[in-house]
Structure 1
Amino acid sequence: MGKQSDLTGFEIAIIGMDGRFPGAKNVEEYWENLVNGKETISFFTDEELLEAGVDPETLADPNYVKANGFLENSDYFDSSFFGYTDREAALMDPQTRIFHECTWNCLEDAGYCPSTYNGLIGLYVGASPNFEWEALTLFSPEINMLGAASAQLLIKKDFLCGWVAYKLDLKGPGFTMTTACSTSLVAIHEACQGILNGECDMALAGGVSVTVE
């Protein structure tokens, strides 16, 4: 690339993508859903919500939204493929597991392998707070087996970027960021800045938001 002052941003090309969405396991299916106007959000009756444990007072609130989006197979993860033990994978935030898969698929879509690529690949990512997951794993026996400190690195979403970069051998800059609803957009912006500033030759950017019910 030329000098930073000569760059406009149009020099950057999108060469690979991946994503997981309600009703779509990749970006191709997501696009088809958009083209065909397919509804992929699930709506629930009061009876279904009561059976699921929703408080009646909450259910009576006119502002309560009786709908949600679900990711299929979000609890599946090939731990050995990414170099984790089953015990580590059991504690890992589902958002971190999914982002491993999407990052791998994105690199595959772009046609690049980090271990053979001579340049620097950066990773810019954001994830939603996952308090439900932290609560669910609080008394997990795996915590005692791995140790509290090691377990927290898997449970907390803040370490997502470090895990993915390490396991996929990404040697460029890596940042986990949180800016509420704009997180994914900010991640993409920072990735572009990283390329334009010469901090990396290629960058992966995106966000993930998966909560456990």
Structure 2
Amino acid sequence: MNVNTHLNKVAIVGMAVKLPGANDLEGYWDLLKFGKEAVSKFSAEQLQRSGISEQLIAAPYYKPYRGILDDLESFDTPPFESTAKNFEVLGIQGKVMSHLTHRALSTMRNNSNRSIKNTAVYIGTNNQPASHFLGSAYYEAIDTQKAIERYYSKVIAPYISYQFGFQGSSIDLYTACSSSLTAVIQSCRELNSYQCDMAIAGACLIDLPQEVGYIYEENGLFSSDGHCHSFDASASGTLYSNGAGLVVLKRLEDAIADNDLIHAVIIGAAMNNDGNSSKEGFMAPGIHGQYTCLQSAWKNAGIEPSDLDYIAAHGASTKLGDATEIYALKKAFKDITGTKRFPLSSVISNLGHTGIVSGMASIIKTVLMLKNKAIVPSINFETPNPDFMLEDSPLYIATQFQDFPQIKKHYLAGVSSYGAGGSNTHLVLRSYDEN
């Protein structure tokens, strides 16, 4: 592995989040480090205010859980005066992403980055409201204004470019749960082909009203108990949460030359699709597609799986999704010899499933781990699913906060995100030491 060349490497020079239980990076690290869960349980009164009928609330199959965002009202004011024009027509998703962009740029060491006009913007968005999954009672809370806001939420990236004067590509995209990693990979491709000099990559999912639950069906998509148990024997399904996050990217050689604060380095990436090979259906995940994506990303990074120190797994907490991911990872690590073991964990157990934002939550989580040289726990995990037979592999679920077991110059981590429809993505991150 060659860690000296800067060619085709991309530096993460800015970050910002708005996640359940975490309003900023410091709050996010606190949540991760101490293994906190940020899923809320709603009272009947809260649900009624959101338009859920008493009959549905009383039903045993209605689960009043979701990960929500605090203080959304604070995003109604433009982040600075020059962004005020047309700000009022933005839905809440656009407003939050505008604020996060301003926050990420404002906290960068090099203030001149804000004047880089040739900046690309790739944002994962989804105009499909959670009400699609929640039943007709949810529509009692929907009105024309919210429909308009949902329409404008589809043009988040162009609004960011308009507000900040960016003149590079400006694209909203959707690849289901892998959208935010897709945004990062597309941004890296533009940077490495010199089509832009800086990139904003992120995703946002904020469905209103927030205080709503979901309908549970046995052997369905959603959790039976209002919690996500990634890779655990008790995992019965997932639950959706709101969230937003983004990263600011530059070519590594430019970031070094510009004296940027470099949080971590993207040294390789890949994305592919399952096609129709050997899986149960269009929405189902595929072992071969995920395995191939992992192999391609590691080859692109110039590493072997044995070089990795950690895997940030997708870990959707669904029986089929978790099983597919573990089997693909076991296949990818099957030739590893020696005593080294490889920890993996999923942030979905902390936050709930933030959908198109889940990959961004994993990236930023992993960057914070690399900066702090520590592994955070995968919570709500007690008993490994026996079907996975993890004991037959060098992989294990990290359940405690711990330092990286080896002292190294650079730590390497893989980040996976998989979308319904077979859109697979994987990044390789490397720690960065200015010295």
TM-score by length of 1: 0.76
Q: Is the 8 A contact 2:89 2:149 kept in 1?
A: no
1:105-139 Cα deviation digits (max 9, x unpaired): 1112233445533x621111112216589844169
Q: CA deviation at 1:208?
A: 0.3
CA contact (8 A) 1:114 1:169 kept: no
Give distance in 1, aligned partners of 2:114 and 2:157.
18
Q: Which has the larger radius of gyration?
A: 2
Does 1:78 pair with 2:77? Answer: yes
After TM superposition, the structure 1 = structure 2 runs for residues 33-44 of structure 1, keeping only pairs within 5 Å, are 33-44=31-42
Report the Cα distance in structure 2 between the residues aligned to 1:134 and 1:161, rounded to whole angstroms. Answer: 25
- CA offsets per residue over residues 135-177 of structure 1, 9 Å max, x none? 44169xxxxxxxxxxxx69942221111110110112211110
How far apart are 1:199 and its partner, in Å? 0.8
Query: Where does residue 157 of structure 1 map in the other structure?
Result: 153
Choose the corresponding residue for 1:200, options 179, 196, 201.
196
CA RMSD of aligned residues (A): 3.0
CA change 1:208–1:172 in 2 (3 A) is same
Change (3 A) 1:198 1:135: farther
Partner of 2:51: 53
Q: 1:52 to 1:108 in 2, by over 3 A?
A: closer
User: How far did residue 7 of structure 1 move?
Assistant: 7.7
Q: Is the 8 A contact 1:114 1:170 kept in 2?
A: no
- After TM superposition, give the deviation of residue 19 of structure 1 in Å: 0.8
Asked if structure 2 preserves the Cα contact closer than 8 Å seen for 1:122 and 1:200, the reply is yes
Give, as a single letter, the amino acid of the residue that structure 1 aligns with 2:179: T
Instruction: Tell me which protein shows more strand as a share of its residues.
Output: 2
SS of aligned partner of 1:40: coil
Contact 2:127 2:151 in 1 (8 A): no
Letter paired with 1:66: P
Q: Aligned to 2:174, which of 153, 171, 178?
A: 178
What SS class does the counterpart of residue 15 from structure 1 fall into? Answer: strand
Contact 1:121 1:171 in 2 (8 A): yes
Q: 1:51 to 1:158 in 2, by over 3 A?
A: closer
Tell me the equivalent position of 2:115: 116
Distance 1:39 1:136, change over 3 A: farther
* Native 8 Å contact 1:123 1:165 kept in 2: yes
Q: Give the SS at the match of 1:180.
A: coil
Counterpart amino acid of residue 160 in structure 2: V
CA deviation profile, 1:81-120 (whole Å, cap 9, x unmatched): 24325xx444321000000011111112233445533x62
Q: 1:210 aligns with which of 206, 213, 228?
A: 206
Q: Which residue of 2 aligns with 1:142?
A: none
Q: Counterpart of 1:116 in structure 2: which amino acid?
A: S
- Quote the residue 1:144 is aligned against: none
> Structure 2 matches for 1:64-103, cutoff 5 A?
64-76=62-74, 77-79=76-78, 81-85=81-85, 88-103=86-101
Which structure has greater helix proportion?
A: 1
Structure 1: distance between partners of 2:201 and 2:105 = 11
Distance in structure 2 (CA, Å) of the matches to 1:182 and 1:26: 22
> Which of 28, 41, 54 is matched with 2:26 structurally?
28
2 CA distance for matches of 1:53 and 1:115?
42
* Secondary structure class of the residue paired with 2:84: coil
State how far apart, in whole Å, the 2-side matches of 1:171 and 1:135 are.
35
Provide the C-alpha distance between the structure 2 equivalents of 1:205 and 1:162, rounded to a whole number of angstroms.
13
* Code of the aligned partner of 1:137: Q
3-state SS, counterpart of residue 171 of structure 2: strand
In 1, distance between residues paired with 2:83 and 2:125?
Answer: 22
In percent, how many aligned pairs have the same letter?
23
Normalized against structure 2, the TM-score is what? 0.39
| Amino acid in the other structure paired with 2:180 | S
The code of the aligned residue for 1:40 comes to A
Letter in 2 for 1:39: E
Q: 1:44 to 1:138 in 2, by over 3 A?
A: closer
| 1:45-77 superposed Cα distances (whole Å, 9 cap, x missing partner) | 456534643234543252x33112221221223
Equivalent pairs, count: 191
Structure 2: distance between partners of 1:187 and 1:39:
27
Say which SS state the counterpart of residue 175 (structure 1) adopts. Answer: strand
